[in-house]
Amino acid sequence: WPRTQAITHRRSLQLRGVCVRDSWLSLVSDVLGSGSVPYLQEAPSPLAFYREWVCPNRPCIIRDAVAHWPALHKWTTRYLRTCIGSKLASVAVTPNGYADAVYKDRFVMPEEREMALSNFLDIVEKKSHQPGVFYIQKQCSNLTEEFPELLLDVESHIPWMSEALGQLPDAVNFWLGEEAAVTSLHKDHYENLYCVISGEKHFILHPPSDRPFIPYEMYQPARYHLQDDGSFSVMDEEGAEKVPWIPIDPLDPDFTLYPEYRKTRPFHCTVRAGEMLYLPSLWFHHVRQSHGCIAVNYWYDMEYDLRFQYFKLIDSLTKVVMKEKEAEGCLV
């Protein structure tokens, strides 16, 4: 014991003479490697997956996880029209592709429109033209709720993940949209398995330990509304409290306003048809896609265990330090 303790102590001496407020960030170390997401060749055993990926909260891409799904060769737009073309789909419509994102001084949500899936596909296939960017992205388990017919071509859960976590997913979501549709940087308290059926999804990921360098601001919630003239208005949600959101766009970060964001360590990855991304809980993510990309994702509730305590501590320290600096007038 004494030898190990002595080494630990020598390390601690390097902290001599520093101030908590300025030094704590150097203490948030991480066991993650470089900024690339590792690949697994096939679905792992439940235990190995829990031990090597879920518990350490590390993302990976699994190559042949869904190769056996009929959806991979069946889900053409023609098939979707035949199978569920007349069914109503909840579609998010925005002028610019940004739903649930900061626009000027608002947190702006999309216009939510119900339309027959065939009409939506007409727009994606450019057979009809409508103002705005259209995206099926409703995360209310819309695959099971709106398109149960499609479940036959995929799975209602991922058996090895359900066994690993000892639970079934809270939601299975279906995603289909135009290239311009973007999901702004945010995090979820879910273990996320994101499976691409056709096309590609482009992810920018930040580990939760990047939290101190990722800005949050408070915004009035608002919503886009298509006007008769084809333009979009932004209307405040009445009586809604302000919400914190991340103002930065990882594709074009404003380093003048948010210089700390330079210190983040983004992971970039592309998930291709047949592949599955394990996106660990509380990782920040920003998502783009190829035009007409189809994907299905599974949300499993996270364990509110030590990992959660760790990230909550980092989050709280970030906020306290910000408040302390604000109080001292270090920040405007």
Paired strand residues for 81: none
Tokens standing for residue 319 = 């906020």
Stretch that binds a second copy, among 22-30, 196-204, 228-236, 289-297 (CB under 8 A): 22-30
* Closest distance to a second copy from the beta carbon of 186 (Å): 6
Token match 């630990």: residue? 8
CB of 126 to a second copy, least distance (A): 31
Is residue 67 a contact residue for a second copy (CB under 8 A)? no
Please report how the helices 117-124 and 77-84 are oriented relative to each other, as an axis angle in degrees rounded to 10.
160
| Cβ atoms of residues 193 and 277 within 8 Å | yes
Q: Binding segment for a second copy among 27-35, 59-67, 140-148, 259-267 (CB under 8 A)?
A: 27-35
Q: How many whole angstroms separate alpha carbon 73 and alpha carbon 65?
A: 15
Strands (E) located in the chain: 39-40, 60-62, 88-94, 98-99, 101-103, 106-109, 111-116, 133-136, 171-177, 182-186, 190-198, 200-206, 217-226, 232-236, 243-245, 267-272, 276-279, 284-289, 294-301
Q: What share of the chain is helix, strand, coil (3-state, %, to 5)?
A: 30, 30, 40
Residue of the chain from 165, 171, 176, 302 that contacts a second copy (CB under 8 A)? 165
Q: Which residues does 209 contact at the CB level (< 8 Å), separation at least 6?
A: 28, 29, 30, 311, 314
State which residue, 115 or 321, has the beta carbon closest to a second copy: 321
* Contact residue for a second copy among 42, 262, 327, 332 (CB under 8 A): 327
x/- track of binding to a second copy for residues 108-137 (CB under 8 A): -x----------------------------
Site membership for a second copy, residue 57 (CB under 8 A): yes
Question: What is the rounded distance in angstroms from the CA atom of residue 203 to the CA atom of residue 222?
Answer: 26
Nearer to a second copy, 178 or 188 (CB): 188
Does the protein bind a second copy through residue 247 (CB under 8 A)? no
Decide: is 38 part of the binding site for a second copy (CB under 8 A).
Answer: no
Which residues in 92-111 contact a second copy (CB under 8 A)? 100, 107, 109
Query: Under the rule (CB under 8 A), what is the footprint of a second copy?
Result: 1-2, 4-6, 8-9, 12, 15-21, 23-24, 27-31, 46-48, 50-51, 54-57, 100, 107, 109, 163-166, 186, 188-189, 209, 218, 221, 240-245, 303-310, 312-317, 319-321, 323-324, 327
